[in-house]
Structure 1
Amino acid sequence: MKTIYTSIQFLPRLATVLLLLLVTVHCQPVHSENRRGDTPAAEKDQEIMLALLLDTSNSMDGLIEQAKSQLWKVVNELAAAKCADGAKPSIKIALYEYGNDNLSPQEGYVRQVSGLTDDLDLISEKLFALTTNGGEEYCGKVIQTSLHQLVWSKSAADLKLIFIAGNEPFTQGPVSFRQSCTLAKEKGVVINTIFCGSFDEGTNTSWQSGATITGGTYISIEQNQKTVYIPSPYDEKIDALNDQLNDTYIYYGSSGKTKKAAQIAQDNNAESYGQSNKAERAISKSTHVYKNSTWDLVDATKDDSKAIEKAKTEELPDEMKSMSVEQRKSYIKEKSTERQQIQTEIQELSKKRQEYITTQAKQNGEAGMLDASMIQAIKKQATAKKLRWQ
């Protein structure tokens, strides 16, 4: 009897151990072994970390135009990714420019435009501010710099990608591309190379070799090809909903008013490529990757229940300054509900819009464009991290 009683006592402990084991497999990578330089996957949501390294020398105006006009389409594809358990990975994007004579020779004509961030308005703002000039294109140097400067995750479960685009030999500069790409491999970062020119020329100038070292994808594109948008019958409605969505963002803090203005400015930048591109941005704003808790009280209260109490009256919109704390809470709750409803409606329209565009685009292939090439590579490499698109 004593033996049976002891076994019964042990059962709750066994159940606890089994539960802990189940928790630790959340969003684990496909392979149990870790690459050198990685630590075991942490018990947290997966991340997709993407650094875009753009050649901004004189001949790259077309490349920069493609990047500006296709940013939100790439973001929307990233936002659609799911972990093995159905959770959604967080997204961080970094931006570098290289090969521009306006940049410092001491830094190898390389500049970090933005570190890894989930502030998508900031990435858009920085991208639209890029100009071309010069220069000296050192691929090995810009890759090395991004590996050293950016705070890359140490988790083997996270998808860490570099996309480098340019049109000069991959071998130029004081840093060997082989050395930089080997370092990337040690950090678990995949290098994808995008040569702006013919496939064979990129192969002959080592762009393909750079990608091969880390198991990345080599791509060639026509950088001067213009982005073609397919207007849909849903764009106008999405545009109207975007205006309503903006009204649910309630700024706070010392930079809140400026960041709110930046949101509108990036809407305008997207619209400069037409209503269809603005619709792509609005769709991004309806997803989990568009977060603004540093300046928007609706998002801030999701992270900190006391955000409203902490907000300074003088740093709030005029309509909130005379409100009591309880009135402010009620107002933010109302805006949060309104936002969820608008985002849901945009998502529903987005599905119909995509079905329409897919049907219309069957006779117009997207091969050879920056966004299509990036999306194809991302999805291919994401399978190793059990990320899926369904």
Structure 2
Amino acid sequence: MKSRKLFTVLAAALFALGLNYFIIEKWIPQFSNLSTSAHSDTFSKKTNTIQVALLLDTSGSMNGLIEQAKSQLWQILNTLAKTERQGHETTLEIALYEYGNPTYTATQIHQLSPFTNDMDLISKKLFALSTNGGEEYCGEVITTAIKNLEWGTDDSNLKMIYIAGNEPFTQGPINYAEACHLAKKQNIFINTIFCGDYKEGVNGMWRQGAQLADGEYMNINHNQTTVYIETPYDKKIDELNLQLNKTYIPYGNEGKVKKENQITQDLNASVYGKSNCADRAAFKCSKKYTADSWDLVDAYAKDKNIINSASGLPDSLQNITSKELEIKIQTTSSLRTAIKNQIQTLNNNRLIYIQNNSKEDAQGNNLKKSIEKSIQKQAKKKGFKVNEEQFIIEN
């Protein structure tokens, strides 16, 4: 009898240990993997938020797609920057994935950035991309983006996935239809961009994928070079942009690195000419360009107590009082506002000049036009709108 009781106790103990092992070793890691990219719990509580995940095919034939993404980034972001909801400012977050690159694991999927409002980081990641022959699994990369990104819990937000590639949508171990149904269940629009002939994309189920998640199907000529229209305003905007950069005061652990990256992304934009530089400068003048995590001026606007705790300041500000630092920040902020107003005024004139000197549909279908087209439709469905009126920044 004693031995039977002892056996029962031991069996119960082993079962409990086994259950604990399952919970701790098996279940928790799988659960936590679904949110490894979340910045914080506050993301799930955000409202008036636009979230865009870009899933780009980086297999061997997609050099043209990557070039369009790099050369049209700031035009796309400027469209998103004009999006508002019932007159209220919106928050913009971008995430970036590449797929079809055998360098990264068996799935050939790589998260370049989780959702972020740091568009300089997105630019940096895009310019670091290269192509490599691989397998393009659309269903799998969509599922990965849905599960691993922090999409938030407010279904009234605008959530969009853009997936671009040139292989059949049906490839891979995860059925594309299941992936798209998962997106629809979470109120995420799936917009598909086929790099090639329209009918070929339809036959490859790219249109079907978009339809299953209430998105848009589009095709583009991914090898088409972006055409810019130079204007009489570009040079002055470029000069003002240099002055604008001087108003950023780095602080904290990342301040110096982020400040350097700001300059680097200006240089990357300049690869495509002064018109593209002007597009980037215009975005830097919008409220969507935020730097409060590393710039003391933006941080002070968010929380004035930062002057009492800011570390890692430039040498010239190391030995001044808090009051002197506050005056420096306020003076710099006023200067920044004045520069932004000048840039925006010039950019308004620049856009009018471009509109008057461009031929309609001169560039055909490209990445920028495809994204802008779908933004207009899907923003409206969620109560957002793209405000085409230009704006001046108020002090």
Q: Sort the TM-score into its range (normalised by shorter chain).
A: 0.7 to 0.9
Q: Match for residue 104 of structure 1?
A: 105
Does the C-alpha gap of structure 1 residues 44 and 165 become closer, same or farther in structure 2, counting only changes over 3 Å?
Answer: closer
Instruction: Write the distance in 1 (CA, Å) between the matches of 2:47 and 2:54.
Output: 23
Q: Cα offset for 1:96?
A: 0.1
Partner of 1:358: 355
Deviation at 1:188, TM superposition (A): 0.4
Q: How does 1:124-135 map to 2 (within 5 A)?
A: 124-135=123-134
Say if 2:277 is the partner of 1:275.
Answer: no
Question: Partner residue of 1:264?
Answer: 263
User: In the TM superposition, what are the counterparts of 1:37-52 in structure 2 within 5 Å?
Assistant: 45-52=47-54
Q: Is the CA contact 2:155–2:186 (under 8 Å) kept in the aligned structure 1?
A: no
Residue 349 of structure 1 deviates from its aligned partner by 1.2
Q: Check whether the contact 1:232–1:356 (CA below 8 A) recurs between aligned residues.
A: yes
Q: For residue 82 of structure 1, what is the aligned residue in structure 2?
A: 84
Residue by residue over 1:345-381, the C-alpha shift from the partner in whole angstroms, topping out at 9 and shown as x without a partner, is: 1111111111111111135534311001100111111
User: Paired residue for 2:376, among 361, 376, 379?
Assistant: 379
- TM-superposed deviation, 1:44: 6.0
The DSSP-based 3-state class of the residue aligned with 2:224 is coil
Cα offsets for 1:18-76 (capped at 9, x unmatched):
xxxxxxxxxxxxxxxxxxxxxxxx99640110000000000000000000000000000
Amino acid at match of 1:370: L
CA displacement at 1:344 relative to structure 2: 1.3
Tell me, what secondary structure is at the counterpart of 1:306?
Answer: helix
SS of equivalent to 1:362: coil
1:63 maps onto 2:65 in alignment: yes
Matched ranges for 1:235-254 at <5 A = 235-254=234-253
Output one character per residue of 1:111-140: Cα deviation in whole Å (capped at 9) or x when no partner: 110000000110000110011001100000
- Does the 8 Å CA contact 2:139/2:171 hold for their aligned counterparts? yes
Amino acid at match of 1:72: W
- Where do 5+ consecutive residues of structure 2 fail to align? 1-43, 388-395
Q: What residue in structure 2 maps to residue 155 of structure 1? A: 154
- In structure 1, what is the equivalent of residue 142 of structure 2? 143
Q: Is the 8 A contact 1:45 1:87 kept in 2?
A: no
Q: Distance in 1 between matches of 2:138 and 2:83?
A: 29
In structure 2, the partner of 1:309 is 308
Distance in 2 (CA, whole Å) between partners of 1:374 and 1:366 is 14
Q: CA deviation at 1:389?
A: 2.4
3-state secondary structure, aligned to 1:82: strand
Q: Is the 8 A contact 2:47 2:154 kept in 1?
A: no
Structure 1 match to 2:392: none
Query: What is residue 181 of structure 1 aligned with on the other side?
Result: 180
* Distance in structure 1 (CA, Å) of the matches to 2:104 and 2:182: 24
Show the counterpart of 2:216: 217
Structure 2 residue matching 1:346: 3-state secondary structure? helix
Q: Return structure 1 stretches of 4+ with deviation > 6 angstroms.
A: none
Contact in 1 for aligned 2:98/2:111 (Cα 8 Å) = yes
Contact 1:52 1:93 in 2 (8 A): yes
User: What SS does structure 1 have at the residue aligned with 2:92?
Assistant: strand
Q: Is 1:83–1:386's contact at 8 Å kept on the other side of the alignment?
A: yes
1:339 to 322, 336, 342: 336
In 1: Cα distance, 2:286 partner to 2:263 partner = 17
Q: Which moved more, 1:318-327 or 1:186-195?
A: 318-327
User: What secondary structure, in the 3-state scheme, does the structure 1 residue paired with 2:276 have?
Assistant: helix
TM-score (norm 2): 0.85
Equivalent residues of 2:49, 2:90 under 8 A apart: yes
**Aligned 8 A contact 1:367 1:373 in 2:** no
1-structure distance, mates of 2:343, 2:386 = 19
Give the C-alpha shift of residue 156 in structure 1: 2.1
The amino acid of 2:89's aligned partner reads: K
- 1:307 partner letter: I
Q: Give the partner amino acid of 2:176.
A: F
Give the Cα–Cα distance (whole angstroms) in 2 for the partners of residues 69 and 162 of structure 1.
Answer: 20
The one-letter amino acid paired with 2:234 is D
Residues 244, 339 of structure 2: 8 Å contact kept: yes
Provide, for residues 285-317 of structure 1, a one-character-per-residue CA deviation record: whole Å limited to 9, x for no partner.
Answer: 0000000111000011122211111012xx111
Q: 1:337 to 1:368 in 2, by over 3 A?
A: same
Q: Provide the rounded CA distance (Å) in 2 between the counterparts of 1:134 and 1:388.
A: 39
Say if 1:96 and 1:113, in contact at 8 Å, map to a contact too: yes
Distance 2:172 2:360 in 1: 42
Look up the SS of the partner of 2:88 in the other structure. coil
2:202 corresponds in structure 1 to 203
Q: TM-score, length-normalised on structure 1?
A: 0.86
Partner in structure 1 of residue 38 of structure 2: none
The aligned residue for residue 5 of structure 1 is none
Q: Distance in 2 between matches of 1:219 and 1:327?
A: 55
Q: Letter of the aligned partner of 1:278 in structure 2?
A: C
Q: Decide whether the 8 Å contact of 1:102 with 1:134 is kept in 2.
A: no
